[in-house]
A = this chain, B = another copy of it.
Amino acid sequence: MQDKNYLMIPGPTAVPPSVLEAISRPMFGHRTEEFAAMYKRIVEKLQMVFQTKNDIFVMTQTGTGGMETAIANAVSPGDKVLALVTGNFGERFAKLARIYGGEVDELSFAWGSPVNVKQVEEKLAANQYKVVLATQNETSTGVLNDIEGIGRLVAKTPALLLVDGVSGVGGIEIKVDEWQVDMLVTASQKAMMLPPGLAMVSVSKKAWEVIEKNTSPRFYFSLPAAKNKYDSWNTPYTPGVSLYVGLDVALDMMVKEGMDNVYARHKLLARATRAAARALGLKMLAEDDWASPVVTGIYSPEGIGADDIRKIAKKEFAVTFAGGQGILKGKAFRIAHMGFADKMDVIIAIAALEMALKKAGYPVELGTGMKAAQEVLLGGND
């Protein structure tokens, strides 16, 4: 059955039917009161999700375009940049800063480990940075970084803190104002439950002062241009109207569930997934203390290729897991439980994983992982 397709990759993720309906509504113009009222509603709801009073711009591009927007507006040639790297997406952020002429110090941590805040403190004490780059949820490894701890340190310096929240925001709590995040970037196709095509960027007052002096070439990614229209709830260039309509609906769903419940749901699904994988004798990429609530990275067993497991799950059960990225290619796979994911999605994932492992030749007693997952799911949101 071609239409049964269990998408368990960390973006794009499954889109709720009501959001699919919303994006297929007839087109309307963006230079209208209707669009302005919608943009205002969207921003107010995003401010609640971001926990900020800062401006939040919705831009028609995917997450990488959002990351480039942050860099192109904050980094001028010659700026000293500290990049905290815990995986593939941390590397991408650092690469972007170099492309825009930043002199980048990379503080890298082993894949599967989080940022060591103590080392950040030492780096900040010894150097004068203009910009610090961090990843909230490192999608490539399933590691959650301590943005609160990093934010506390960076706030004491003149540097701006830019956070890649692409795969986390909407599934993992973030407190932009309290944690003093100067620019937070996220995108539509992860925990926000939409198709890919929108990025969202928040900008603090401290960031605006830097942005206004920035000399990098930018037009489509220009935040001053966006700000100029934002004050009348519009966009400088044609926005992706359909996806905005979908975002409005997706945010309503999140408001209705309650953000605390949304975050608890993601944590529960992560715990169930990890318990199941452990019961099957598998090793996690990340320790429990810094495990991502939205995606779980798992090493494939000795002698069995991660991509073989993925191929069987896809072919036999229409379940798509993500592969390992970078140095983990072929050695690990990832199960996403972000956005429109609930208990039965974990059940499907674990059942498919057990059967794929068995087919791949790994000695597994069917139901072992399932039992562990069910026990966590029954335990509730504690």
Interface residues of A (CB under 8 A from B): 3, 5, 7, 9, 11-15, 20-21, 23-32, 60-65, 68, 72, 95-96, 99-101, 187, 189, 195-197, 216-221, 236-243, 320, 323
* Chain B neighbourhood of A9, CB < 8 A: 29, 31
Q: Specify the chain B residue showing the minimal Cβ separation from A340.
A: B27
Contact B197 A243 (CB under 8 A): yes
Contact B24 A24 (CB under 8 A): yes
Alpha-carbon separation in the docked complex, A79 to B242 (Å): 38
Contact B26 A68 (CB under 8 A): no
Contact B242 A23 (CB under 8 A): yes
In the assembly, how many copies of this chain are there?
A: 2
Contact B29 A238 (CB under 8 A): no
Contact B12 A62 (CB under 8 A): no
A62 in complex: contacting residue of B63, B96, B239, CB < 8 Å: B239
Contact A217 B219 (CB under 8 A): no
Say how far A282's CB is from chain B's closest CB, in angstroms.
Answer: 22
Contact B220 A61 (CB under 8 A): yes
- Besides A3-B26, A60-B60, 9 new A-B residue pairs in contact (Cβ under 8 A), listed by A number: A7-B29, A12-B27, A29-B320, A60-B62, A61-B220, A95-B219, A99-B217, A195-B241, A220-B221
Alpha-carbon separation in the docked complex, A335 to B243 (Å): 25
Q: Specify the chain B residue showing the minimal Cβ separation from A24.
A: B24
28 CB < 8 A contacts A-B: A12-B27, A12-B28, A12-B29, A12-B241, A14-B27, A20-B24, A21-B24, A23-B23, A23-B195, A24-B24, A29-B320, A60-B60, A60-B61, A60-B65, A62-B240, A64-B238, A68-B219, A68-B220, A72-B217, A99-B218, A100-B217, A196-B239, A196-B241, A196-B242, A197-B197, A197-B240, A197-B243, A240-B240
